[in-house]
Amino acid sequence: MSSSSVTVVEERILQYGRKEKLSWWGKTKNFRTAMLYLFPSILLFSIFLFYPMLRTVYLSFFLTDAQGVASLFVGFENFAYILQSSVFRKSMVSTLLFVLYTVPSSVIIALFLALLANEKLRGIGFFRTILSSTMGMSVAASAVIWLFLFHPTVGILNSFLNIIGISSIPWLLDPQWALISIAITTVWMNTGFAFLVILGGLQNIDQHLYENAEIDGAKYRYQLRRITLPMLSPTLFFIITITFINSFQSFGQVDILTQGGPAEATNLIVYAIYRDAFINYQFGTASAQALILFILVFGLTILQFKFGEKRVHYQ
Amino acid sequence: MMKSRGWVVYPLLIISSLLLFFPIVYAFLVSFMSGTDVMNRSFLPSIWNWSNYERVFETVPLMRYLMNSFIVSTGVMLGQLVVCAFAAYAFAFIPFKGRNAVFLLFISTLMIPWEAAMIPNFLTIQAFGWMNSYLSMTVPFFALAFGTFLLRQHFKTVPHELMEAADIEGLSKFATFYKVVLPYCRTSLVTLGIYGFLTTWNMYLWPLLVTTNDEKRTVQIGLKQLQTVEVATDWGVVMAGVIIVIIPTLLLLFIGQKQLQKGLTQGALK
Amino acid sequence: MKKMIYTIILLVLMVGMLVACGNEEEAASETPGTSGEENTDNNSEENTANNAENNTDSNEKNANESEASGSEPQTIEFWHGMGGGLGETLDELVEQYNASQDDVEIVAEFQGSYEELLTKFRSVGGTTDAPALVQVFEVGTKYMIESGYTTPVQEWIDKDGYDVSQLEENILSYYTVDGDLHSMPFNSSTPALFYNKDAFEEAGLDPENPPRTFSEIEEAAELLTVSEGGETSQYGFSMLGHGWFFEQMISTQGQDFVNEANGRDGNATEAEFGGEEGLKVFEWINSMHKAGSYEYYGQNWDDIRAAFQAGQVAMYMDSSAGTKDTIANAPFDVGVAFVPHADDIDPQGVIIGGASIWMANGITEEEQAAAWEFMKHLQTAEVQADWHVNTGYFAINPAAYDEAIVTEEHEEFPELRVPIEQLQETVPSSATQGALIAVFPEARQQVVSAFEAMYQGMSPEEALNQAIEATNHAIETYNRTATEE
C-alpha cells in the first residue's frame, strides 16, 4: 500500500514506452502481458468469488423455494425485512462488539509478547516457538479445546477461578459472557499469527536507531514510543487490517461453541448467514445479509486505509 | 543493558508462554484421561493410557484422512505459489493501465466471506464433476489476495540494479521472473507456502461439503466425526483426535517459524 | 548456491503444474456419464416435474450398464449423520449385512450433522451424486416429501407385500402422511424425565414415586434445590435449550403445534402453540427459574448431562437414547419417568424424535430393490435388538424386545422400559403424531430463543409471542414460494 509504488524500474519502462511512437497494439502491450500473468488469478476469482457474489446479489432480490431455486421476485423486501428485524440488528450489534473485543486485544497482546520475545536472551527461540504455536491450530481443534475449558461442569477454567476464590463464571451460558468467551477463543487463535508478524517487524528495525538512543541515554519507554512504535507502524497497520477483516468473518468458533446462542447473543453475522442459508434455507435473506456484510467490511476497510495510512510511518 | 533486563523479561515470558500454551498442554493431558478423570476435573490423568488414541483410530480412518490432508494442503500450497507469484509479478513490475483498479479488485476479495459464497460454489463444483476429488479442495484456493499482496510487497524490494542487469542481459520478462525475482524473494515464497499449507490443513466446513465418502476426506472432518449429539461425548477420545490433528501443523510451524516470520514482515513492511 | 535455489523453485513450480494436470485427468475419469450432467443442470434450474422425466431416462441407461457389469456386487450408498459410538454401531450392522450375502454391498458414509447431511442431500438430490439411501432427521420429513427426490417406501411395501403392522405404530405414525409411509423409521427416541434418586432421598422425596405434573415438579424442584449463602450447589430442575422438549409439553396436552391438524391435512399456515397450552409451559419454567430452583445449561446436550452427572441438577429431561449411558455413568441411582404434563389434564403422550431412512428416486429399480432389502433387514427383530441394546434408540420392531439380549439388558437396567411404556401408552392423535412443517428447524430455533430471552427477564407472554410471530413469518415466507410453483 506504499505511496511510492512506482519503482525506478517501472519508470524506466514507462519512459521506454513513451519514447517510441506506439500503435494501439503497442500501447496495450504491457496490459496484455500483465493480463497473461494475472489470468490464472482472475479466472479463479471470477469462478469462485465474483460469480458467487453476483449470484448473491441476484438471490437477494428473490425468495427461494424448498429446492433453493429463486422462485419469487420480491425486490428490496429481503433488505427491508432484515433491516427492521430485531434479530439482524442484534446480530450486527454482537458483531461490532465482537470486533471491538477482539481486534485491539489481539494486536496489543501480540505486540506485548513480540516485545518480550524480541529481547536477545538465551533460549528465546524456544519461547518464540511456543508463543507462535496457536497459528498452527485449526479453528475446529481450538474451538473444541475451549469448549471443554468453558464447560459448565467439567471445565477447568472455573476450577482455577474457584481455587483463587472467585465464583464460577457461566462462560457460554450467559449472553454477555458467551460473547466474551468466543472473543477469548478468537484472540487466542489470532495471537500466534499476529505475534509472528509483529516480531518480524521488530527485527527489521534498524539496530543503529537503538544504539544511538542508548548513547543519548534514552529510557526503554522513550525508545518504545519514539523508535519502536513509529517504525513498527506499517506492520501494525497490516496486522490490524487483517485481524479486522478476519474478525468480521468469524464462523467456526461460533458454530462449535454456542451455535449463536444464548438468546442470539453470539449470532455473529457470518453465522447468521450460514443459519439462514443452511438451516432455514432462506437463500434470499441470507444473500441480503451477505451483501450488507460485504458493503460494511469494504467501507470500513477503505476508511481504515484513508485514516490509518496517514498515521503510518514509512521508512 | 540487555542482560539486566533479563530478570524482568524471563518471568514475563514464562508466564505468558504458560498461559498461551496451557490449552494445548491440557488437551494433551485430557487425551490420556478416562471418563472419571474428566468428570472429576482432574488436571493430570490418574493412569496414563493410550486407549483413547486406539479408539480414535478405530472410529475414524484417520491415517487415510491424514494422507488426504497432506495431499490437499501440499496441492494448495504449490498452486498458490504459482498463481500468486504470477499475479504479484504483474502488479510489481508491469505498469499497465488500470493496475490500481485491478489491484483493488483483488484486495476486495479478502472481504467476501467464504461461507457466504459456499452454496453457489458447491453447485459449481458439482457441475464440474469435482465432487469427491482433490480438485474441489485445492483449485478454488489457488488464487489468494493475501498471498498476491505478500509477494508483491517483497517483489518490490528487488534492487533495481538486479532488474537492470537482467534487462541488459536481454532476459525476457518471464526469464527475469524466474531467474531473478523468484530466487531473490525465496523467503516470501517459503512463507506463503507454509501459510497456505497451514490454512488448508485447517479448513473444515468445505471439505465436509464436497466429499461424500472417506476416500478423499481430510482430518478436520475426523474431528467432527468423533462428536455426537443424542448420546454422551467421550472427551478423552475427542482430545486424542485433536492432538493427532494438530501435531503435523505444530511441527511444521516449529520448523518453519523463522522463515515464516521473516517473510511475513517483508510483506507487511513496505 | 543461487543457481541451486532457483532450480529448486523452478522444480517446485513444475511439480505444481504437474499435480494440477494430473488431478484434472483423474477427475475427468471420475466424472459420471453425460446423463448425470444433464440431471445436474436441470436440477439447479428447473423443478421437480422435469426431474422425474430425466430420472426415468437415466434409469434406463443405468440399468443397461449394470446388466452389462454382471456378477459384481451392487453398491448401495447410505448417507448418515451418526457420529461417535453410534457411527461405530451402525458400521458394524452394515458390515454384518454385507458379510451375510454377496449381491449387495452397502456403503455407509458419515456426512456430518443432520443439518449438514440434509443440506448436502438437497444439493445433490436427483443427480448421480445422490446416495440410494439417506438418513434424515424427523423435522426434515416435510421437506423430503416435497423435494421430489425420493420414492415413498410405501411403494415397496405394497409391491413386496411387507407387513408393517409388526412395527411400532406410534413410531410409524410420524412418518405416515396421507396414509402412506414415506420413510423407514430408523433411530427413534422420545424424551423422558431423568432424576437423581439419592438426591430425592436426601430431600425427603419418594424416589419410587417421581413427580408427574408441572406443579409436582415445581414442588419437588424447590425441595431438591440446595443452596448455601447464595451459592446453589444443586438445582431442582433443568431443560435443555432444544425445541423438541417444548413440543412434548404441547403434545401431551393434546394441542397441535401448527394448524391444519399439525400440517397433516394440508399446508400449515399458522403456529398454534401460542395459546394457553404454550403459556403454561413458559410460565411453569419461568416460575421455577425465578424461584431459583431451575438452572439453564444451554443448547449443548453434553453440558446438561454433565451437570446432572456431577449432581448440579437433580431432574432434567433427556432423550431416551441416552438412558443407558446416563445410568451407567452416574455415581448415584438414576430414576427415569414420563415427561411432565400440565396439571388437571389427561396426558396424551409424546412425539418421537430421531431420524428415518429415505430412498432416493434417481436410482435404478434394481438398486431400489437392493436398498429395500437392506431396509427390511434393518427392521428384523434381531437387528433391532442389537441396535436398541447398543444405542438406546427404540426398537422399531417391538418383537425385538423379546430377544434374549434385550430382556437381559432390561433386567440389568429396568429403567430402559420406562420410555418404551411411555411410547406405547401414547394416545394416537394429530398432536402426538407430530407437526409436519417445512420450516421446523427454524421454528425450533425460535422457541429456544424465546426461552433464552425469558431467562434474561422477558415476560413469558412476550417471549411466547416472539416465538409465535417468528414462526408464523417463517411459515408465511415458505408458503409464498411453495404456492408459486
- The 10s digit of each residue's pLDDT in C161-191 is 999 999 999 999 999 999 999 999 999 999 9
Q: What is the pLDDT of residues C8-28, one digit of tens each?
A: 444 444 444 434 433 433 333
Interface test with A, best of B254, B258, B259 (most A CBs within 10 A): B254
Q: Among residues C257, C265, C261, C259, which one has the least CA distance to residue C179?
A: C265
Q: Are B129 and C30 in contact (CB under 8 A)?
A: yes
Report how far residue A32's alpha carbon sits from residue A28's, in angstroms, rounded to the nearest whole number: 6
Contact A263 C312 (CB under 8 A): no
Compute how many other C-beta atoms are within 10 angstroms of the C-beta atom of residue C11.
10
Say what the pLDDT of residue B265 is.
66
Q: What is the pLDDT of residues A225-266, one digit of tens each?
A: 888 888 888 888 888 988 998 898 888 899 888 888 788 889
Q: Is B40 on the interface with C (CB under 8 A)?
A: no
More confident residue, C44 or A86: A86
B128-137, B203-212, C217-226: which is most confident? C217-226
Q: What is the pLDDT of residues C113-145, one digit of tens each?
A: 888 888 888 878 877 788 999 999 999 999 899
More confident residue, A177 or B264: A177
Say what the pLDDT of residue A91 is.
92
Question: Mean pLDDT across the stretch B95-123?
Answer: 85
CA distance B211 to chain C (A): 8
Model confidence band, residue C483 (pLDDT cutoffs 50, 70, 90): low
Chain mean pLDDT for chain C: 84
CA distance C4 to chain A (A): 25
For B172, residues 6+ apart whose C-beta sits below 8 A from its C-beta are none
**Hey, is A61 helix, strand or coil?**
coil
Say what the pLDDT of residue C317 is.
95
Report how far residue B111's alpha carbon sits from residue A40's, in angstroms, rounded to the nearest whole number: 20
Q: Is C404 on the interface with B (CB under 8 A)?
A: no
More confident residue, C139 or A12: C139
Q: Flag whether pLDDT at A175 surpasses 70.
A: yes
Residues of A in contact with B227 (CB under 8 A): 144
Q: And the C-alpha cell for A160?
A: 482455577
Contact B81 C12 (CB under 8 A): yes
Q: Flag whether pLDDT at B111 surpasses 90.
A: no
ipTM of predicted complex? 0.86
Q: And the C-alpha cell for C93?
A: 450392522
Contact A280 C116 (CB under 8 A): no
Q: And the C-alpha cell for A113?
A: 509478547
Contact B129 C30 (CB under 8 A): yes
Q: Flag whether pLDDT at B28 surpasses 80.
A: yes
**Per-residue DSSP letter, B188:** H
CA distance B265 to chain C (A): 21
Q: And the C-alpha cell for C262?
A: 399439525
Say what the pLDDT of residue A21 is.
55
The separation between CA B241 and the C-alpha centre of its own chain, rounded to angstroms, equals 19
Chain mean pLDDT for chain A: 84
Report how far residue C134's alpha carbon sits from residue C122's, in angstroms, rounded to the nearest whole number: 11
Domain ranges of chain B: 62-269
Q: What is the pLDDT of residues C247-259, one digit of tens each?
A: 999 999 999 999 9
Q: Are C437 and C443 in contact (CB under 8 A)?
A: yes
Residues of A in contact with C478 (CB under 8 A): 66
Q: Among residues C342, C290, C336, C287, which one has the least CA distance to residue C316?
A: C336
Query: Which chains reach chain B with 3 or more Cβ–Cβ distances below 8 angstroms?
Result: A, C
Q: Among residues A290, A47, A279, A251, which one has the least CA distance to residue B116?
A: A290
Report how far residue A122's alpha carbon sits from residue A124's, in angstroms, rounded to the nearest whole number: 5
Interface test with A, best of C21, C115, C242, C303 (most A CBs within 10 A): C303
Residues of B in contact with C107 (CB under 8 A): 213
Contact A154 C310 (CB under 8 A): yes
CA distance C352 to chain A (A): 21
**Residue C402 identity:** D
Q: Is C22 on the interface with B (CB under 8 A)?
A: no
Model confidence band, residue B267 (pLDDT cutoffs 50, 70, 90): low
Contact A281 C47 (CB under 8 A): no
For A266, residues 6+ apart whose C-beta sits below 8 A from its C-beta are A94, A98, A175, A178, A179, A182, A254, A257, A258, A260
Which H or E run includes A72? strand A70-73
Contact A200 B262 (CB under 8 A): yes
Query: What are the strands of the beta sheet with C231-238, ordered from one edge?
Result: C226-228, C231-238, C313-319, C191-196, C334-337
Q: Flag whether pLDDT at B80 surpasses 80.
A: yes
Say what the pLDDT of residue A12 is.
52
Question: Mean pLDDT across the stretch A204-233?
Answer: 82
For each of the domains in chain A, give its residue range(s) and CATH number, in order of start: 1-54 (no CATH), 84-311 (1.10.3720.10)
Q: Flag whether pLDDT at A53 surpasses 60.
A: yes
Of all residues in chain B, the one with the smallest CA distance to A118 is B9
Model confidence band, residue C217 (pLDDT cutoffs 50, 70, 90): very high
Nearest-CB residue to A67 (from C115, C147, C310): C147
Percent of chain C past pLDDT 90, that is, above it, reads: 64
Q: A68-72, B174-178, C412-416: which range is least confident on average? A: A68-72
Question: Mean pLDDT across the stretch B67-78?
Answer: 95
Residues of B in contact with A270 (CB under 8 A): 113, 115-116
For A259, residues 6+ apart whose C-beta sits below 8 A from its C-beta are C299
CA distance C161 to chain B (A): 33
C residues 70-129 closer than 8 Å to B (CB): 77, 79, 82-88, 107, 109-113, 116, 119-120, 123-124, 127, 129
Q: And the C-alpha cell for C67?
A: 446388466
Contact A262 C241 (CB under 8 A): yes
Nearest-CB residue to A172 (from C48, C298, C481): C298
Say what the pLDDT of residue A249 is.
86
For each of the domains in chain C, give its residue range(s) and CATH number, in order of start: 71-188+354-409 (3.40.190.10), 191-350+439-484 (3.40.190.10)
Nearest-CB residue to C310 (from A65, A153, A279): A153
Say what the pLDDT of residue B95 is.
87
Say what the pLDDT of residue A211 is.
82
Q: Domain B62-269 is classified in which CATH homologous superfamily?
A: MetI-like (1.10.3720.10)
Say what the pLDDT of residue B163 is.
86
Compute how many other C-beta atoms are within 10 angstroms of the C-beta atom of residue A26.
11
Residues of A in contact with C303 (CB under 8 A): 151-153, 172
Percent of chain A past pLDDT 70, that is, above it, reads: 89
Q: Flag whether pLDDT at A112 surpasses 80.
A: yes
Say what the pLDDT of residue B114 is.
81
Percent of chain B past pLDDT 90, that is, above it, reads: 30
Interface test with C, best of A51, A59, A67 (most C CBs within 10 A): A67
Say what the pLDDT of residue C284 is.
97
Give the 3-state DSSP-derived string for chain C, with helices as H, strands as E and coil as C.
Answer: CHHHHHHHHHHHHHHHHHHHHHHHHHHHHHCCCHHHHHHHHHHHHCCHHHHHHHHHHHHHHHHHHHHHHCCCCEEEEEEECCCHHHHHHHHHHHHHHHHHCCCEEEEEEECCCHHHHHHHHHHHCCCCCCCCEEEEEHHHHHHHHHHCCEECHHHHHHHHCCCHHHCCHHHHHHHEECCEECCEEEEEECEEEEEEHHHHHHCCCCCCCCCCEHHHHHHHHHHHCEEECCEEEEEEEECCCCHHHHHHHHHCCCCCCEHHHHHCCCCCCCECCCCHHHHHHHHHHHHHHHHCCECCCCCCHHHHHHHHHCCCEEEEEEEHHHHHHHHHHCCCCEEEECCCECCCCCCCCCCCEEEEEEEECCCCHHHHHHHHHHHHHHCCHHHHHHHHHHHCCCCCCHHHHHCHHHHHHHHHCHHHHHHHHHHHCCCCCHHHHCCCCCCHHHHHHHHHHHHHHHHCCCCHHHHHHHHHHHHHHHHHHHHHHHHHC
φ, ψ (nearest 5 deg) of residue C315:
-140, 140
Report how far residue B39's alpha carbon sits from residue A156's, in angstroms, rounded to the nearest whole number: 10
Question: Mean pLDDT across the stretch B123-130?
Answer: 88
Q: What is the pLDDT of residues A136-148, one digit of tens each?
A: 898 889 999 999 9
Say what the pLDDT of residue C239 is.
95
CA distance B44 to chain A (A): 12
Residues of A in contact with B210 (CB under 8 A): none
Report how far residue C389's alpha carbon sits from residue C383's, in angstroms, rounded to the nearest whole number: 10
Contact C477 A282 (CB under 8 A): yes
Q: What is the pLDDT of residues C287-332, one digit of tens each?
A: 999 999 999 988 888 888 888 988 999 999 999 988 888 888 889 9
Q: Is C321 on the interface with B (CB under 8 A)?
A: yes
Q: Is B55 on the interface with C (CB under 8 A)?
A: no
Nearest-CB residue to B140 (from A2, A48, A117): A48
Contact C452 A175 (CB under 8 A): yes
Question: Mean pLDDT across the stretch C215-237?
Answer: 92
Residues of B in contact with A248 (CB under 8 A): 113
**Per-residue DSSP letter, B33:** -
Model confidence band, residue B117 (pLDDT cutoffs 50, 70, 90): confident
Say what the pLDDT of residue C465 is.
95
CA A176 to each of CA A152, A182, A263, C221: distance values in angstroms, whole numbers, following the listed order: 15, 10, 10, 27
Question: Mean pLDDT across the stretch C61-89?
Answer: 72
Say what the pLDDT of residue A194 is.
92
Q: Are B118 and B159 in contact (CB under 8 A)?
A: no
Q: Is B164 on the interface with A (CB under 8 A)?
A: yes
Model confidence band, residue A10 (pLDDT cutoffs 50, 70, 90): low
Interface test with A, best of B37, B78, B93, B228 (most A CBs within 10 A): B93
Question: Mean pLDDT across the stretch B196-205?
Answer: 87
Model confidence band, residue A92 (pLDDT cutoffs 50, 70, 90): very high
CA distance B161 to chain A (A): 9
Q: Is B117 on the interface with C (CB under 8 A)?
A: no
For C310, residues 6+ apart whose C-beta sits below 8 A from its C-beta are A153, A154, B39
Say what the pLDDT of residue C25 is.
36
Q: Counting one residue from B and one from C, how many pairs have CB atoms under 8 Å apart?
A: 147
Q: Are C271 and C442 in contact (CB under 8 A)?
A: no
